[in-house]
Amino acid sequence: MAFWNDRHTRGVLYQVAALGGVILVGGILVSNTMDNLARQNIATGFRFLTREAGFGISEHLVDYSPADTYLRALYVGLLNTLRIALSGIALATLLGIVVGFARLSSNWLVARLASVYVEVTRNVPVLLHLFFWYAVVTQAFPSPGAALEPITGFFLSNRGVAISWPGLGVPTLDGFNFRGGAVLSPELSALLIGIAIYTSGFIAETVRGGILSVPKGQLEAARSMGLTGWQVLRFVTMPLALRAIVPGTTNQYLNLAKNSALAVAIGYPDFVSVANTTINQTGQAIEGVAMIMAAYLTLSLLISAFMNWYNRHVALIGERS
Amino acid sequence: MSRNVIVWAVVIIVSAVGGALIQGQIDQKSAPVAAKSEPKSAPAATTPAAPAQTAATGGTLDAVRQRGSVLCGVNTGLAGFGIADSQGKWTGLDVDICRGVAAAVLGDAEKVKYTPLTTQQRFTALQSKEIDILSRNTTWTLGRDTSLGLNFVGITFFDGQGFMVRTASKVTNAKSLNGATVCVQPGTTTELNLADFFRSNNMKFQPVVIESLQELTGAFVAGRCDAMTTDISGLVSIRATQAKPDDFLVLPDVISKEPLGPVVRHGDDQWFDIVKWTIFAMIEAEEKGITSANVEQMKSSEDPAIKRLLGVTAGNGEALGLKEDWAANVIKLVGNYGESYDRNIKAQLGLERGINNLWTKGGLVYAPPVR
């Protein structure tokens, strides 16, 4: 039999041909773009990354000054994105679990309040959450000179929260702003609260759905064996519920990571914000947008891979593949 | 058989990649041919006054004539420079440049189609030929003039970057802003000048970078920042729109040069010349005392410079590839530079001429001889 009559071989050939087609189209696009840019005398390539950035970034987890390169600036932005994504995921999960359980509470008031929380948070666009919390932080608190100090060494002002921190010292007002101590800026606070609360509404519903998905018989069986309420939750409800909760929560984590790009609206210097400034200063939009896409794709795939690993970990033995 | 599959796969991938490369080659070769063939057919459609020899050098003029309108990229809304009123009518100093070019090329200042652009969209829009002119309070810098594939035409407004603070803060000059939090828009030369200023004075600052000007102003007014920075014309404009302008103070320090002017694409010298000399004609008209009101009387002037400018003595129009009355149309329909300044910058922002006065009156505004 000739190989083109073999069904399996033909399948492989079709796939290779399709891949070839994709590469062809991609190649034409890339070569045409490069050609057009060259004809219009527009600079291309990534050489700009080693040039001096020249702009300031308010929040940096590693040392940064305007004399550093664009590459360093983008690295600072990437760390800021990771910081907001990870802390946002942690806070949203915590809130989501609490509210998800609260909505199943037998206490009428707690359950109703949780329902209102879920409906309000997940039905308001995330951008409005950010503007709302940013306005709260900047408008509701006094200037640094008249900062609130509810606890000694804990200052609340429209410049954010300044806290005494071991190794960083006590915050003191020096000129315009607080010096020393740990500072949580209004932009980071508003962004963290905004996206965490928004996402927690969705996570709460996933958690509630997961718990409700546990067959009643399992719980009755557990109780009839003499397990206490806590033991039922710990050894029966949660292991079974997690299987339903994890995939849905993964989606919410991915959404949260991507929504963090809205930071640009309220001035938190995340990766998109720094990359946008870079695009503007260098004029190299294609390279800049490609880097933004690559960064978010990598971040999303990493979150996804981790959650898939965790999902397999919590799956029933018989269902693991 | 599996070896066969691998062989076929390699053949297909190699041919696909090869095909892509060849395609790229063909495009490169065919491009100049297409560019050359365009002007050949174009003169037939242009107005008879256009001399054939100048039409061959660029595509924008022909495209504008065929379309019957100038595509102009403007600010999304900055009083004095480019702002649309409730009827959708655009006014401003930047807008007047586009109206002037439409008057020079088409004889009608209203034949302009406006595209409002953010700081981030503006250069891409011009590069991709969505617009013919970018006239959007854009600062002329070496980097933008070269690596973006664009040409800055000239300077229509000499601006400088400054700071605005709250009057209550008792800050009276920029040097006492050490440690301050400063509100600034991203993607602007302003952001870089801010960093330069603090670095060169060994001072520290915290930037708060928000793209939308409204959000940024809101953050500053709410007290998020100690100072706000942008071009002084912009600060004056923002201060004027506050409920209590006296609560805010624009500091006297000017920390940078911000020469604002229109931009065109690299490689179309004829269009570059037309936009450039439209601006110079407006400046020259002010210097010679020609206004939109008296331009018709001025045509009978005995001054040879005025006669050349208004096309009574022929030559300038032909050199630009335009009708001889191009400059007369600009002045009649848009006005001279001073008229545009007074109508827009002075009336809407209350800014005096200052360094934007004519060179004969102690300013920097100067036009080469229109001859």
The model's confidence at residue B47, banded by pLDDT at 50, 70 and 90, is very low
**CB pair distance less than 8 Å for A28 and B20:** yes
pLDDT of residue B7: 56
pLDDT at A320: 55
Which tokens sit at B154?
């000239």
Of the candidates A311, A315, A319, A304, the one whose C-alpha atom is nearest the C-alpha of residue A89 is: A304
Note the pLDDT of residue A1: 65
- A195: Cα within 13 Å, side-chain hemisphere: 29
pLDDT at residue B67 greater than cutoff 90: yes
Q: What is the DSSP string of B81-97?
A: TBEE-TTS-EESHHHHH
Does residue B40 register a pLDDT over 60? no
Residues 6+ apart with CB under 8 A from B28: A35
User: Residues near A116 by Cβ (< 8 Å), separated by ≥ 6?
Assistant: none
Tell me if B303 is assigned to some domain: yes
**What CATH number has the domain spanning A70-123+187-319?**
1.10.3720.10
Burial of B82 (0-12, 13-18, 19+ CB in 10 A): buried
> Which among B144, B205, B212 has the least Cβ separation from residue A56?
B205
Average pLDDT value for residue range A99-121: 94
Task: Look at residue A198 and tell me whether its pLDDT is greater than 70.
Answer: yes
Q: In chain A, pLDDT over 70 holds for what percent of residues?
A: 98
Q: Is the confidence at residue A9, as pLDDT, over 90?
A: no
Same domain for B245 and B265, yes or no, is no
Same domain? B58 vs B149: yes
Searching chain A, which residue's CA lies closest to the CA of residue B210? A267
Q: Is there a domain that residue B152 lies in?
A: yes
The token duo for B195 is: 């960093």
Phi, psi of A319 (to 5 degrees): -95, -5
Find chain A residues with C-beta within 8 A of B177's C-beta.
Answer: 176
Cα–Cα dist B328/B297, whole Å = 11
Domain stop point among B207, B223, B257: B257
How is A210-250 classified by DSSP, letter by letter?
HHHTS-HHHHHHHHHTT--HHHHIIIIIHHHHHHHHHHHHH
Residue A150: which pLDDT band, with cuts at 50, 70 and 90?
A: confident
Looking at the fold, whether B282 and B242 belong to one and the same domain comes out as: no
Sign of CA dihedral B233, B237, B238, B243: positive
Report the pLDDT value the prediction gives residue B5, as an integer from 0 to 100.
54
Cα gap A26→B247, rounded to integer Å: 57
Q: What is the pLDDT of residues B107-145, one digit of tens each?
A: 999 999 999 998 778 888 998 899 999 999 999 999 889
**Do B206 and B193 fall within a single domain?**
yes
| pLDDT higher than 50, residue B148 | yes
Provide the β-strand partners of residue B78.
Answer: B82
Q: Is residue B186 part of a domain?
A: yes
Bridge-based pairing of strands B90-91 and A172-174 is unpaired
Query: What are the distances in angstroms from CA A267 to CA A124, A142, A190, A278?
Result: 21, 20, 10, 15
d(CA A54, CA B195): 7
Query: For residue A229, which of A219, A241, A240 has the smallest C-alpha distance?
Result: A219
pLDDT band at B9 (very low <50, low <70, confident <90, very high): low
Asked whether residue B125 is assigned to any structural domain, the reply reads yes
3-state SS, residue B337: helix
B253 and B266 assigned to the same domain:
no
B151 vs A144, which has greater pLDDT?
B151
Looking at the fold, whether B345 and B284 belong to one and the same domain comes out as yes
pLDDT band of A144, cuts 50, 70, 90: confident
More confident residue, B25 or B168: B168
Instruction: Tell whether B147 and B165 lie within a shared domain.
Output: no
pLDDT in the model for residue A36: 83
| DSSP string for residues in B28-80 | HHHHHHHHHHHHHHGGGGS-TTS-HHHHTT-SHHHHHHHHTSEEEEEESSBTT
Residue B167 has pLDDT above 80, yes or no: yes
B253 in the same domain as B280? no
Residue B67 CA to residue B61 CA, distance in Å, equals: 10
Burial of B257 (0-12, 13-18, 19+ CB in 10 A): middle
Q: What local confidence, expressed as pLDDT, does residue B2 receive?
A: 52
**What is chain B's mean pLDDT, rounded?**
85
Cβ atoms of B135 and B83 within 8 Å: the answer is: no
For chain A, the average pLDDT equals 89
B73 and B211 belong to one structural domain: no
The confidence score (pLDDT) of residue B100 equals 97
Coil, helix or strand at residue A273: helix
What is the number of domains present in chain B? 2
CB-based contact A195:A252 (threshold 8 Å): no
Cβ under 8 Å to B: A residues 54-73: 54-58, 65-67
Rounded Cα distance between B261 and B286, Å, is 18
Domain assignments of chain A as residue spans, ordered by start: 70-123+187-319
Q: Which residue of A has its CA nearest to B35?
A: A39
Identify whether the C-beta of residue A121 lies closer than 8 Å to the C-beta of residue A198. Answer: yes
Residue A95 to residues A186, A194, A249, A306, B355: CA-CA distances in angstroms? 21, 12, 13, 21, 59
Q: Which carries the bigger pLDDT value, residue A180 or residue B222?
A: B222
Contact A158 B178 (CB under 8 A): no
Q: What percent of chain B has pLDDT over 90?
A: 62
Q: Is the predicted pLDDT of residue B41 greater than 60, yes or no? A: no
pLDDT over 70 at B10, yes or no: no
Whether chain B has a CB inside 8 Å of the CB on A43: the answer is yes
- Report the candidate in A60, A72, A127, A90 with the shortest Cα–Cα distance to residue A269: A60
In A229-249, which positions are buried (b, 16+ CB within 10 angstroms) versus exposed (e)?
eeebbeebbeebbbbbbbeeb
pLDDT-derived band at B8 (thresholds 50, 70, 90) equals low
Residue closest to B163 by CA, chosen among B203, B197, B210, B187: B197
Question: Are B55 and B321 within 8 A, CB to CB?
Answer: yes
The count of residues in chain A is: 321
What sign for the dihedral angle of Cα A299, A302, A306, A312?
positive
In angstroms, the separation between the Cα of residue B137 and the nearest Cα of chain A is 15
Prediction ipTM score = 0.76
pLDDT bin (cut points 50, 70, 90) of residue A149 is confident
Is residue B18 a part of any domain in this protein? no
**B276 pLDDT above the threshold of 80:** yes
Please classify residue A217 by burial: count the beta carbons closer than 10 Å to its beta carbon, then call 0-12 exposed, 13-18 middle and 19+ buried: exposed
Instruction: Specify if B97 maps to a domain.
Output: yes
Structure-token pair, residue A247: 């995939």
Q: What is the pLDDT of residues B208-221, one digit of tens each?
A: 988 888 889 989 99
The chain B residue lying nearest A146, using CA atoms, is: B223
The Cα-based distances of A150 to A142, B84, B315 in angstroms read 13, 49, 79
- The answer, for A277 touching chain B at a CB cutoff of 8 Å, is yes
For residue B34, the model assigns a pLDDT of 38
* Same-domain pairing of B89 and B166: no
Tell me the residue range of the domain where B223 lies: 160-257
Residues of B in contact with A18 (CB under 8 A): none
H or E segment at B112?
strand B112-117
Confidence class for position A45, pLDDT limits 50, 70, 90: confident
Of the pLDDT bands very low, low, confident and very high (cuts 50, 70, 90), residue A211 is very high
Residue by residue, DSSP assigns A85-130 as HHHHHHHHHHHHHHHHHHHT-SSHHHHHHHHHHHHHHHTS-HHHHH
Percentage with pLDDT > 90 across chain A: 59
Q: Which residues pair with A178 in a beta bridge?
A: A173
The reply to whether A26 touches chain B by the CB within 8 Å rule is yes
Structure tokens at B38: 């365009």
Q: Nearest residue on chain B to A55, judged by CA atoms?
A: B192
Q: Are both B151 and B274 inside the same structural domain?
A: yes
Least confident span in A276-290, B251-265, B298-312: A276-290
Q: Do A56 and B186 touch (CB under 8 A)?
A: no
In a domain, B45, yes or no: no
Chains A and B form CB pairs within 8 A to the count of 171
A139 pLDDT higher than 90: no
Measured in angstroms, the CA of B220 and the nearest CA of chain A are apart by 9
Q: Which amino acid is at A201?
A: G
Q: Are A209 and A248 in contact (CB under 8 A)?
A: yes
- CATH, residue B307: 3.40.190.10
Tally the residues of chain B. Answer: 371
Identify whether the C-beta of residue A160 lies closer than 8 Å to the C-beta of residue A186.
yes
Residue among B1, B19, B126 nearest B74 (CA): B126
Q: Which of A72, A71, A54, A55 is nearest to A63 (CA)?
A: A72
Are B184 and B309 part of one and the same domain? Answer: no
Chain B residues with CB under 8 Å of A21 CB are 16
CB contact under 8 A, A16 and B9: yes
Give the pLDDT of residue B99: 97
B317 belongs to a structural domain: yes
Q: Do the beta carbons of residue B94 and residue B82 sit within 8 Å?
A: yes
* 3-state SS class at B271: helix
Structure tokens at B300: 């009978």
